[in-house]
Amino acid sequence: MTVRTRFAPSPTGYLHVGGARTALFSYLFARKHGGQFVLRIEDTDLERSTAESVNAIMEGMTWMGLDYDEGPFYQTQRFEHYHAAIQELMDKGLAYRCDCSKERLERLRDKQMAAKVKPRYDGHCRGRQVDPDAPHVIRFSNPVDGAVIVDDMIRGRVAFANSELDDLIIRRSDGSPTYNLTVVVDDADMGITHVVRGDDHLNNTPRQINILKALGKEPPRYAHVPMILGSDGSPLSKRHGAVSVVAYRDMGYLPEALLNYLVRLGWSHGDQEMFSLEEMIALFDIGDVNKAASTFDTDKLDWLNQHYIQHGDPAHIARLLSPHMGQIGIDPATGPDLVDVVAAQGARAKTLKELAEISAFCYRDFEAFDEAAAKKHLRPAAREPLQRMRAGLEMLALEDWEPETLHHVVERVAAELELNMGKVAQPLRVAVVGRAASPGIDITLQLVGKEATLRRIDKALAFIAEREAAAS
């Protein structure tokens, strides 16, 4: 048997991180077993489904590297398959027309609620002859005896009594098929062998199995993944912060960091924290997924993202960083090589967005000095070290503007003034960067370049003079 899994989102919004984790687990299961991963777009909700949402889903999957083998298949293009399946059930006597009014159904529900009985349809129209030209729905004739046993790959064996399942609607009065019918037909037609999905679908599973059997189809194996919770214990939602995959991309997270974080939400392999996609495929076992819900921890994601920024291939990080530089109005081609910036700054940022912001000084002059840094380091005592540094740096040829040579200039000025290196390097750093934190002073000067360095030292000297004049 060739394993075939699917990811079947509804295009009514962004790709939620919960959906992304489900897609990842489904993808890993298929890849581990040499199978196929299918993308299906469940777009039968015509009022809420949008092309923008489809694009957002596919954009998120592409960014994460979850490549699918078949699809995307759109349910709105498969209505003839659903109507054929409904007709087959009707011909077999396993589905029937129902013309119960909304008022009757509400009275039935109120009566059941008052009697503390689980509300469900009472089969009133089973065996009745309903005029096909009158308004009606079509219901599936669910078995009334026995039980449906779901051997869930995560939750284990779960039993559902058929007496607890009502005759669900499979075609609405407007002629459109319902979710439980379309999913069954699609899974059967597409040869899906294993369904990995959120555990909010567990109660749909016995109904879908009964429909599959009524159509003479073999049900797939199911794995219901527990939900992701926010920090307050409620289902993860917008009120907890970003929940869209594309939003995390735009906030400066790396795809490998988000994938690594999502795979560890409910699954583990010993004490290992870091996994490449290849390792995930080799080690992932759906049976090892925890039955309990997982809590989304942004601090842990930040830690992982910083690790990948710091230890990833600088050229790869630079490619992902480039659009974030553009977002703050910087063309990376106008300054130092972005790979060199990543190598120098990677350990200082949790996200690519933060990395872009703290690296802006390499490409453009800052507007103002950090107030605390200037107060501490741009004092009258810093004037002479800055003047001597300017003179020494101005004498360097452009081809000598290298870290080793720049470091020697700082050392020489410090020795001449009988100061420790910090008394020279820190005022120089604030003068050139605008704040007290940056890479080593030699690397910083190299990234900023000769012309900008001299210009910014002049700005710092003017700042010191203005402060002195104001104080006198």
> What pLDDT is stored for residue 241 in this prediction?
67
Instruction: Kindly state the average pLDDT of the residues 367-376.
Output: 96
Quote the CA–CA distance of 309 and 287 in Å, as a whole number: 32
The H or E element spanning position 301 is: helix 298-311
Instruction: Kindly state the average pLDDT of the residues 448-454.
Output: 97
Quote the CA–CA distance of 233 and 54 in Å, as a whole number: 30
- From residue 205, alpha-carbon distances to 160, 212, 275 in Å are 9, 10, 32
Q: Which residues have a Cβ under 8 Å from the Cβ of 278 and sit 6 or more positions away? A: none
Burial class (CB in 10 A: 0-12, 13-18, 19+), 247: middle
Burial class (CB in 10 A: 0-12, 13-18, 19+), 406: buried
Q: Over the range 65-82, which residues count as b (16 or more CB within 10 Å of their CB) and which as e?
A: ebebeebbbebeebeebb
Tell me if residue 350 is catalytic: no
Q: Given a cut of 70, is residue 455 above it in pLDDT? A: yes
DSSP 260-277: HHHHTSS---TT-----H
Residue 210 amino acid letter:
N
Number of helices and strands in the chain (H, E): 19, 12
> What pLDDT is stored for residue 153 in this prediction?
97
- Beta-strand pair 147-152/156-161: antiparallel
> Average per-residue pLDDT in the chain?
95
Burial class (CB in 10 A: 0-12, 13-18, 19+), 174: exposed
Q: With H, G, I as helix, E, B as strand and everything else as coil, classify residue 302.
A: helix
Quote the CA–CA distance of 67 and 54 in Å, as a whole number: 15
Instruction: Kindly state the average pLDDT of the residues 127-135.
Output: 93
Q: Which residues have a Cβ under 8 Å from the Cβ of 346 and sit 6 or more positions away? A: 309, 310, 312, 314, 317, 355
User: Could you tell me if 169 and 139 are in contact, meaning their C-beta atoms sit under 8 angstroms apart?
Assistant: yes
pLDDT in tens, 173-223: 999 999 999 999 999 999 999 999 999 999 999 999 999 999 999 999 999
pLDDT in tens, 220-251: 999 999 999 998 888 887 777 668 999 999 99
Residue 208 amino acid letter:
Q
Quote the CA–CA distance of 163 and 181 in Å, as a whole number: 20
Quote the CA–CA distance of 208 and 451 in Å, as a whole number: 70
Q: Given a cut of 90, is residue 453 above it in pLDDT? A: yes
Quote the CA–CA distance of 167 and 89 in Å, as a whole number: 13
pLDDT in tens, 48-72: 888 999 999 999 999 999 999 999 9
pLDDT in tens, 90-126: 999 999 999 999 999 999 999 999 999 889 999 999 9
User: Could you tell me if 7 and 37 are in contact, meaning their C-beta atoms sit under 8 angstroms apart?
Assistant: yes
Q: From the candidates 102, 116, 213, 238, which is the catalytic residue?
A: 238
pLDDT in tens, 138-154: 999 999 999 999 999 99
Q: Given a cut of 70, is residue 23 above it in pLDDT? A: yes
% pLDDT > 70, the chain:
100
Looking up tokens 């040499």 gives 34
> What pLDDT is stored for residue 472 in this prediction?
74
> What pLDDT is stored for residue 1 in this prediction?
83
